[in-house]
Amino acid sequence: MKARVTIDRDVLIGETHDRLFGAFVEHLGRCVYGGIFEPGHPEADEKGFRQDVLALVRELAPTIMRYPGGNFVSGYNWEDGVGPVEQRPRRLDLAWMSTEPNTFGTNEFIDWCRAANIEPMLAVNLGTRGGDAARNLVEYCNHPSGTHWSDLRRAHGWEQPHEVKFWCLGNEVDGPWQMEHKTAREYGRVATESAKMMKWIDPSLELAACGSSARNMPTFGAWEREVLQHTFDHVEFISLHTYLNDYAGDMPSFLASADLMDSFIEEVVAIADAVAAERRSDKRLMLSFDEWNVWYRTRGKKEGRTVPGWPVAPQILEEVYTMGDALAFGGACISLLNHADRVKAACLAQLVNAIAPIMTETGGPAWRQTIFFPFAQMSNLGRGRVLRARVESPTYSTSYYDPRGAQEHRFTLPEVPYLKCAAVHDADGGFATLFLLNRHLQEDVALEVELRGLGAGSVVSAETLRHDDLSATNTKDAPERVAPAPLPGAALQDGVLRATLPAASWSVIRVK
Ligand code: AHR
């Protein structure tokens, strides 16, 4: 099969923001305890931070980290997680039916972010709590000194303010599974009043209002409009979440499903701009895609996501990702890059163990899941000017089944190009990088890319991620079964790049 791509130095979608390459640490299963934090582990430092995990995090290269939830945040009392560890309360966490020991909290998270050189993104509880707790947390974190909460931070051992800039106003408040789920009006009001107070304390904050927790929520669209009618003047971002699935066991449609993220993004942009137009405002809200990933095997009913007996850090949501998952995931990376003009923050959900690119054994080693690689390549090589890639490729038609949300959906995808592509130009380094997904399960793609105005003369690197078995996984005993390998034969001549993309593969080619 042949496919052709044309990119032009001057045909720009937008510049990537560093925050596009974020991830997420929630108090969920073994993400914190046994994941990033495991005092007593042979690789843990004096703070309990696992250095083997930190080394993989540096390789993965996330830029911003969302914390502490997720569903967890909607019942979280942030005060429980600060101060002397031995005095912190153990609490029932109703999001994941676990016991939360609170031995890791906001200050430990900030220290971990500093060690990892990652910007922190904090979410406030707008489920069981509201504006008062939110403003106190901002004062605790960001006010220098001389007040109750700022001096308490100093007394706890953090003299300097944390200077957290990016804050999420709650989490998935549109979902009935959320503690103190709200209507759009109820949420719009509490988000507005919280935002006002948070910014009165620190005007430099950037705030994200909760959009829909999935495109197939029955309230999608109406939710964004009503929430933004309340919050528009007080926020910079509206959030959206997507988890791709293969519940149907239908690989072509699973690989096509990333294209629904394109539609979702474009619809949220349209609604945000419509609200701006209604207000005669030229303000443009940006999108925070602050949860995205593949997730289905360990999803489903709440009982299937929990372990009886209120355990600490249960082994839940430990999705073991396949080669096929990595392909769908790569498609999501391309969707995000191709909307770099409006998606200015995004978080892979999550980081370690719970639906994560990094897996650990408690007390044992850490390794890379299949989805690790597309993310690391996107973050390390995908920063810069995203060029509009004109793709000419054969197409297929499919439909995608999504049983999540309060209603089932079957989306029709009539013309899915087998080749999905994003192109990023690093003007300073003079590189152009192509991210390429061949969704054909049997046929290679004979690819030609016309590179206009880029002055590229040679291929710097070419790698591909593929496996004969789309169900292949990386495990503790075979941690590198699926890993990128050199893509042979990629060549550039007279401004045209030629390469053969194997069937069912994700490839990254860099030219200069
Ligand atoms: O990332 C796992 C969960 O998915 C989050 O806690 C929640 O926000 C979403 O439903």
424 Cβ closer than 6 Å to some ligand 1 atom:
no
26 Cβ closer than 6 Å to some ligand 1 atom:
yes
Ligand 1 mean position, distance from CA 476 (Å): 25
Report d(CA 311, CA 316) in Å as an integer.
11
Beta-carbon contacts of 87 under 8 Å, excluding residues fewer than 6 positions away, are: none
Ligand 1 mean position, distance from CA 241 (Å): 9
Ligand 1 mean position, distance from CA 70 (Å): 5
Residue in 71, 168, 348 to alter for ligand 1 test, most ligand atoms within 8 A of Cβ:
71
Q: Which of 168, 170, 157 is nearest to 206 (CA)?
A: 168
Residue type, 240: L
pLDDT number for residue 400: 83
Range list of H helices, 232-284:
251-256, 258-278
Is 193 assigned a catalytic role? no
CB-based burial, 352-381: b 16+ in 10 Å, e otherwise: bbbbbbbbbeeeeebbbbbbbbbbbbbbeb
Q: DSSP letter at 33? A: B
Q: Going residue by residue through the chain (512 aa), what tens digit of pLDDT does each one get?
A: 999 999 999 999 999 999 999 999 999 999 999 999 999 999 999 999 999 999 999 999 999 999 999 999 999 999 999 999 999 999 999 999 999 999 999 999 999 999 999 999 999 999 999 999 999 999 999 999 999 999 999 999 999 999 999 999 999 999 999 999 999 999 999 999 999 999 999 999 999 999 999 998 999 999 999 999 999 999 999 999 999 999 889 999 999 999 999 999 999 999 999 999 999 999 999 999 999 999 999 987 666 688 999 999 999 999 999 999 999 999 999 999 999 999 999 999 999 999 999 999 999 999 999 999 999 999 999 999 999 999 999 999 998 877 765 456 777 888 999 999 999 999 999 999 999 999 999 999 999 999 999 999 999 999 999 999 999 999 999 999 999 999 999 999 999 999 999 999 999 999 99
Catalytic residue from among 172, 193, 319, 463: 172
Beta-carbon contacts of 510 under 8 Å, excluding residues fewer than 6 positions away, are: 381, 431, 432, 433, 434, 459, 460, 461, 462
Half-sphere exposure of 398 (CA within 13 A, CB side): 21
All structural domains of the chain, each given as residue ranges with its CATH number in brackets, are 4-8+387-511 (2.60.40.1180), 16-383 (3.20.20.80)
178 Cβ closer than 6 Å to some ligand 1 atom:
no
Ligand 1 mean position, distance from CA 112 (Å): 21
Q: What is the CA radius of gyration of the chain?
A: 22
Beta-carbon contacts of 94 under 8 Å, excluding residues fewer than 6 positions away, are: 75, 179
Report d(CA 338, CA 350) in Å as an integer.
22
pLDDT number for residue 406: 46
Ligand 1 atom with the shortest distance to the CA of 293: 1
Cα–chain center distance at 88: 30
pLDDT number for residue 404: 61
Contact 461, 509 (CB under 8 A): yes
Contact 68, 127 (CB under 8 A): no
Is 291 assigned a catalytic role? yes
Contact 431, 451 (CB under 8 A): no
